[in-house]
Structure 1
Amino acid sequence: MIRPEEPSWRKPAGMFIILGLIAFWAFLIGSLSEHLARLPGLVQAAVYIFTGIVWIAPLKPLLRWMETGRWR
C-alpha cells in the first residue's frame, strides 16, 4: 500500500511569498506611474509589458524550492 506523503509547509509558505512578491511589485510599479505617465504611449506600453514579465524571473527557483526543498 502506498503511503501518502506528509504535507509540506513549503507550499503554503511559497504561496504567501508569491502573493507578497506580486503585491510588492504592483506597489513599486504603481508608485512609478506618475513618472511613467510623462513618457510617450508606446514607451509606456513597452515599460509595462517589460515589468509585467520581469517579476516572473524569481518564480522558477521559488517554485523549485516549494517542490523539492532545494534552491538549485
Structure 2
Amino acid sequence: MHPRLRSFIGTIIIIFLVVAYAVLATSFATAALAQQPWWVHLAYFVISGVLWILPAMLVIKWMAGAKQPK
C-alpha cells in the first residue's frame, strides 16, 4: 500500500477512535460515577485520558509500515 494512502486511512481511523472513545468514556462516567466523590472522577479521567493512546499507537505503527530495504 502506498505510504500516503496508509497515512490517510490511519488518520481517519485515529479521528474516529478519539471521538468514539471520548463518547464512550464520558457516557460511562456519567452513568456510573455520578454519585462518586471528585477524586474518583479525577482518577477515572486521568486513566481513561491515557488509555486511548494504546490503540492509537497500534494505528500509528501500522501507518509507519515496514521499512523498505535500501
Unpaired segments of 5 or more residues in structure 2?
none
Structure with the greater alpha carbon radius of gyration: 1
Cα deviation 1:11-65 (Å, max 9, x = unaligned): 0110010000011111101212232221111011000100000010112221111
TM-score, normalising length from structure 1? 0.78
User: Hey, which bits of structure 1, 4+ residues long, moved more than 6 A?
Assistant: none
Residue 22 (structure 2) pairs with residue 26 (structure 1): yes
Identity of aligned residues (%): 31
Superposed CA RMSD in Å reads: 1.9
Structure ranking higher in helix proportion: 2
TM-score, normalising length from structure 2? 0.80
